[in-house]
Structure 1
Amino acid sequence: MNLPDMPHTVAAAFAQVPRSVRARLLDIRRLIFEFSERMGTVGPVTEALRWGEPAYLTQITKSGTTIRLGRSRSAPKDAAIFFNCQTSLVEEFRIQFADEFLFEKNRAVIIPHRRALPENAVKFCLCWALTYHLGECRKQRADS
């Protein structure tokens, strides 16, 4: 898959993040675009800045909720994936992946820098967020 060109504002935001965290966040960015390309119901993902952080939205299909990438104040050496705090996503992830991630309240999944990227768990979290209004990934998890 060829990743889309990154908007200049988003590239500038990534450049502000320490190299070790940035590499992990860019891996997560790649997973977002790979997943959205594979899932026909998600449609194209819009990449923009929200609250000064790279954000990913399903603006055309409205299938999902916004995903932001950055660092948490509570764990600045770790990569964080932020989700809309008005959803139940982080609480669901806390139940499913307590051994994979750290969590910040009801807003973020934190991936400790000393661990390998738990790619399957991250993919599943991204799936839930990008299809939040469709419930597709929740159905898959319940069936498995």
Structure 2
Amino acid sequence: MKDLRFKTDSRVESVFNNYPPEIRKKLEILRSLIIESAQNIESLSLLEETLKWSEPSYIAKNGSTIRIDWKPKNPDQYAMYFQCTSKLIPTFKMVYHNMFRFEGSRAIIFHLKDSIPKKELQACITAALTYHQVKHLPTLGL
């Protein structure tokens, strides 16, 4: 793995600390998968962790923002959100239609009891973090 600069907004920690403990653990797993995926992208030197819409968000040059969150109105699920105007979720649905649950063209939904298909999710994360480099490919390089 190469050196990846990771720039984080101090407010993100507070958001994580305000999630219920079981949810925080699940979202920390998603966060770790995003960081690990970013470390494996040779062309990526900086990953920024910030807040967008009060949700932990991950931004890379030449990428599309990834957000993660949990909503009290759906207490048994949490999600990874992608830009709804991109080809990301439509492509993920085509490639991984039986692997994930989706919400429209904006999110992959996880239930608390679900196991996360790590390899496939990391491929989705990599496609998002390199989106402007792969958006011309038929399946975004998946």
TM-score bucket (shorter structure): 0.7 to 0.9
SS at match of 1:134: helix
Structure 1 residues 5 and 44 mapped into 2: Cα distance closer, same or farther (>3 Å)?
closer
CA distance in 2, matches of 1:74, 1:108: 16
Residue 24 (structure 1) shift: 1.5
CA distance in 2, matches of 1:69, 1:40: 24
CA distance in 2, matches of 1:98, 1:139: 15
Q: Check the 8 A contact 2:7/2:49 in 1, yes or no.
A: no
Q: Aligned-pair RMSD on alpha carbons? A: 2.5
Q: Check the 8 A contact 2:69/2:80 in 1, yes or no.
A: yes
Task: Say whether residues 1:103 and 2:105 are aligned partners.
Answer: no
Residue 74 (structure 1) shift: 6.6
Structure 1 residues 19 and 6 mapped into 2: Cα distance closer, same or farther (>3 Å)?
farther
Counterpart position of 2:47: 45
Moved over 3 A (4+): 1-7, 72-76, 136-140
Q: Check the 8 A contact 2:41/2:126 in 1, yes or no.
A: no
Number of residue pairs matched by the alignment: 138
Counterpart position of 1:77: 76
CA distance in 1, matches of 2:32, 2:114: 19
Unaligned runs of 5+ residues in structure 1 are none
1:53-132 equivalences in 2 (<5 Å)? 53-58=55-60, 62-72=61-71, 75-132=74-131
**% same residue:** 30
CA distance in 1, matches of 2:84, 2:42: 26
Taking structure 2 as the reference length, what is the TM-score of the superposition?
0.84
